[in-house]
Amino acid sequence: MAELGKTLHAWRDRMTPAEAGLPAGGNRRAPGLRREELAALAGLSVDYVLRLEQGRSSAPSAQVLEALARALRLNDAERGHLFVLAGQTPPSPGQISTRIPPGVQRMIDQLQGTPLSVCDAAWNMISWNPLWAALIGDPSAFRGREQNIIWRHFTAGNGGTAGAARVVQTPEQAAGFTRAMVTDLRAATARYPKDADLRALIQDLRAVSDRFAQLWDDHVVGFHESNTKTVNHPELGAILLDCDVLTAPGSDLRLIVYTAPPGSEAAEKLKLLSVVGLQSLS
């Protein structure tokens, strides 16, 4: 893993904080990213990044490699090379990709005042900004299936974490959301027939949720619509926001974006959250 570590270090050194959407302030001994900055961008521990760069870690998983590729803004060739260095097979065209194109990533970086998260074609959450975590709750603790929004939605009553969600939906919104999610998942199976993880997700959903199995067998069709939703923040109370699901051009990525009218009470609460982040307001 020595070559992997050297390459990661070189890629970290070549990337400026501005390219990563980070402030460039403070005294820096080198122009590139600090190790702790790369760790934060990739959702990894600083110690783990250090062990990777020093060649002291066992082979990283595909999920870790994807997170590093996104954080370092690697192009397709570099991303493939990263997988090879780690002893992993690069994802094939028949598998769902979690790569965020540079243009989409720049847009995300420039929307730091807007709560935003990014999901892949199967609705696995792959990225979010700090304001999203402050508003909706920090997703970094989710592991395995809990990273999938559809899984959390359909297992809310079976031990899943969706029951603790802060977003309040009307019955009509919940029904529309459910139909749209099932439609998205069915479309993903048509585009990625060789994706084993996607097939396993559908099989597991059918096993744990009679409601999902019924909708899947009934071939329901639904589409995402702009909605006004209430987010019950534990300290700021109810925040009324517009929610939109956007699809990045040329990819199957979904961007979930919450916005508020300028000058509204909700906009002021978002401004406060953007300053305090995950800190307690009490």
129 contacts 108 by C-beta, under 8 angstroms: yes
What lies within 8 Å, CB to CB, of 27 at 6+ separation is none
**How many beta carbons lie within 10 A of that of residue 97, not counting itself?**
20
Q: Give me the pLDDT at residue 249, please.
A: 72
Percent with pLDDT over 70 in the chain: 92
| CA pair distance 172, 253, nearest whole angstrom | 25
131 contacts 138 by C-beta, under 8 angstroms: no
Q: Give me the pLDDT at residue 67, please.
A: 86
- pLDDT tens digits, residue range 102-127? 778 888 888 888 999 999 999 999 88
| CA pair distance 43, 37, nearest whole angstrom | 10
Pick 102-276's CATH classification: 3.30.70.1560, 3.30.450.180, 3.30.910.20, 3.30.200.210: 3.30.450.180
| C-alpha triplet 177, 232, 154: angle, nearest 5° | 35
DSSP 146: G
143 contacts 121 by C-beta, under 8 angstroms: no
- pLDDT tens digits, residue range 210-252? 999 999 999 888 888 888 999 999 989 999 999 999 987 767 8
12 contacts 22 by C-beta, under 8 angstroms: no
Q: Give me the pLDDT at residue 161, please.
A: 42
| CA pair distance 223, 180, nearest whole angstrom | 5
Q: Which range, of 131-145, 197-211, 231-245, averages the lowest pLDDT?
A: 131-145
Is the per-residue pLDDT at 279 higher than 60? yes
Is the per-residue pLDDT at 160 higher than 50? no
Mean pLDDT of 118-143: 90
- pLDDT tens digits, residue range 144-159? 888 899 999 998 754 4
Residue type, 212: F
What pTM does this model have?
A: 0.74
State the span(s) of the chain assigned CATH 3.30.450.180. 102-276
State the span(s) of the chain assigned CATH 1.10.260.40. 2-85
Confidence tier at 162 by pLDDT (50, 70, 90): very low
Half-sphere exposure of 260 (CA within 13 A, CB side): 20
- Helix ranges restricted to H, 195-252: 196-208, 210-218
Pairing of the two strands 125-128 and 167-168: unpaired
- pLDDT tens digits, residue range 37-68? 898 888 888 999 999 998 887 778 888 898 89
Mean pLDDT of 199-205: 96
Q: Give me the pLDDT at residue 281, please.
A: 58
Architecture of domain 2-85: Orthogonal Bundle (1.10)
Mean pLDDT of 184-194: 90
What lies within 8 Å, CB to CB, of 180 at 6+ separation is 222, 223, 224, 225, 245
Percent with pLDDT over 90 in the chain: 40
Q: Give the SS3 label for residue 97.
A: coil
